[in-house]
Amino acid sequence: MPSILIVDDEANILSSLDGALGREGYQVEKASTLAAARRLLKEAFDVVLLDVWFPEGNGLDLLKEIQAVTPETVVIMMSGHATIDVAVQAVRLGAYDVLEKPISLERLLILLRNASTALSLQAENRRLTKPWADPIIGTSNAVKSLIAEIEKAGPSAARVLIQGEHGTGKELVARALHAASPRASKPFVAVNCSAIPEELIESELFGHEKGAFTGATQSRKGKFEEAHQGTLFLDEVADLSARAQTKLLRVLQEGEFMRVGGNRSINVDVRVVAATNRSLKEEPGYREDLYFRLAVIPIVVPPLRERPEDIPQLVEHFASTISTRPKRFSKDALALLERYPFPGNVRELRNLVERLLIMTPGHTVRAEDVRALFPARLGASFPERLSEAVEAFERARIEEVLKAEGGSMTRAAQRLGLERSHLYKKMRKLGLEGGR
């Protein structure tokens, strides 16, 4: 249901509308002054019911501010003595409609239902006009296999766990799954679990009620509610706290949850697609039952070093999308790029192409231009064999992380996304001395 802010200086109107709309299932907040309304409007509302006249000012001024900052917000003006001129002015300023007091609840509910339809159409228009992320580029067998998996899994309702290294394009795969599903016209909501502090992740996912914690000045919908009937993408799902894992498991099992500080269950219809760069089965403290709930269909995104034949296509694509006047890459430059292991995967390649387009004079990027911008630790040339280049990078990266972690194998393994025993084996294979 849409969230509504009622702004009126009459306490009886605030109370009566709050009660009536609350019984209809709307999420309602109230403000008795324009100053209080401005504070609350730092959070987004779907609908604002706004009185015209206030002791300290004019509601039309606040209407202008709302339209300037969040033009998609539906504003319905209210007035006990509105003239035709005021109504015309309000509509010209962007008001959805103007209601005369005393407010007819029946008419208001009809307006709100129509507003909900308008909000859905706005969301759909934004979805259709919003530029999508880069398409999945490549003709290698690895990419063909990945696309085939997406085509099979997309139309189903099953949850998907996308696994892959940083920069491989896991969110791109998630968006492709959403686009291939019957939910394609509904919201796609992405959450980076590693970017949200542990104490806020529950509120972010499940929302909170007013007063649930310090700073919770109003109720707020979480990402699950925002993604209702659509897809919720949980990136870096391995970083969820134990408490958040428990709540997530309940949502997946029951299809319902309670907001932080709430006491009523909220039902949602959401397809969850998760992603991780680590092995959840081997992650210390990660719930095994949650892993199996998330990994109904596992999809592995291959690293760029396993599909070097796609690099020329990716370079051409990035060059054409980054610059309006793309430069040509010489065959030698492309051959050099194909020999580099790209530890940062497709993301690193895109950044490198952008740097080359900016820093290279002339109309052609040559091999010497590529050598000049590669990381210094790998030198000016690369091994001919891909396996040797990968080993060179792994050796340099492990040494770098071990040094940064003071020789601690445990912390280095965590930072590299490896099990401690796996790191020991890899170091022995590379001829590196062990840490502590």
First to last CA, the chain: 55
Mean pLDDT of 122-138: 58
| Statement to judge: residues 105 and 44 lie in one domain | yes
The per-residue pLDDT for 123 is 61
Tokens read off for 370: 């590529």
The two beta strands, 256-257 and 266-267, are antiparallel
| Statement to judge: residues 157 and 269 lie in one domain | yes
| Statement to judge: residues 184 and 227 lie in one domain | yes
Does 126 score more than 70 pLDDT? no
| Statement to judge: residues 169 and 122 lie in one domain | no
55-79: pLDDT as tens digits: 989 999 999 999 888 888 899 999 8
Does 239 score more than 60 pLDDT? yes
Among the candidates 266, 300, 334, a domain finishes at 300
Tokens read off for 41: 């409007």
Dist CA 32 CA 45 (whole Å): 16
Number of folded domains in the chain?
Answer: 4
Q: Which domain holds residue 329?
A: 304-378
Burial of 275 (0-12, 13-18, 19+ CB in 10 A): buried
Look up the pTM and report it. 0.61
Does 379 score more than 80 pLDDT? no
| Statement to judge: residues 219 and 352 lie in one domain | no
The per-residue pLDDT for 131 is 38
Does 150 score more than 50 pLDDT? yes
109 CB neighbour count, 10 Å cutoff: 14
| Statement to judge: residues 341 and 289 lie in one domain | no
| Statement to judge: residues 168 and 296 lie in one domain | yes
| Statement to judge: residues 40 and 79 lie in one domain | yes
